[in-house]
A and B are shown apart, each in its own frame.
Chain A
Amino acid sequence: MSRLIPNENTWVGFTPTVASKSAPTAANITAAVNLTHYLISLNASARGNTVPTPAFDTLFETSIPGTVQASFDADFYRDDEEDLAWETLPRSTEGFFIVSRFGGTGTGGAPVATDTVEVWPVMVVSRTSANMASNTVMTFTVSCSVPDEPAENAAVAA
Chain B
Amino acid sequence: MVEKKSADTGRETPIKIQSKDGKQVGTAMPRAFERVWKERGWTRVDDKSSGDNAPATTSKKEQG
Contacts and interface: CB of A to CB of B under 8 A. Distances in A.
B48 interface: no
A37 interface: no
Nearest to A149: B58
Contacts of B28: 16, 93, 95
B58 A16 contact: no
B42 A31 contact: yes
Contacts of B12: 90, 92
Nearest to A88: B36
A93 B14 CA distance: 8
A88 B32 contact: yes
Interface string A102-143: 000000000000000000011100000000000000000000
Contact of B40 (A31, A87, A93): A31
Contacts, number: 89
> Interface range on chain B: under 10, 10 to 19, 20 to 34, or 35 or more?
20 to 34
A147 interface: yes
Judged by DSSP, the binding face of B is loop
Interface string B24-64: 11111101100111001110000000000011111101100
Contacts of B21: 27
B23 A92 contact: no
A18 interface: yes
B58 A21 contact: yes
Interface in A9-58: 15-22, 27-28, 31, 33
Interface in A81-108: 84, 87-96
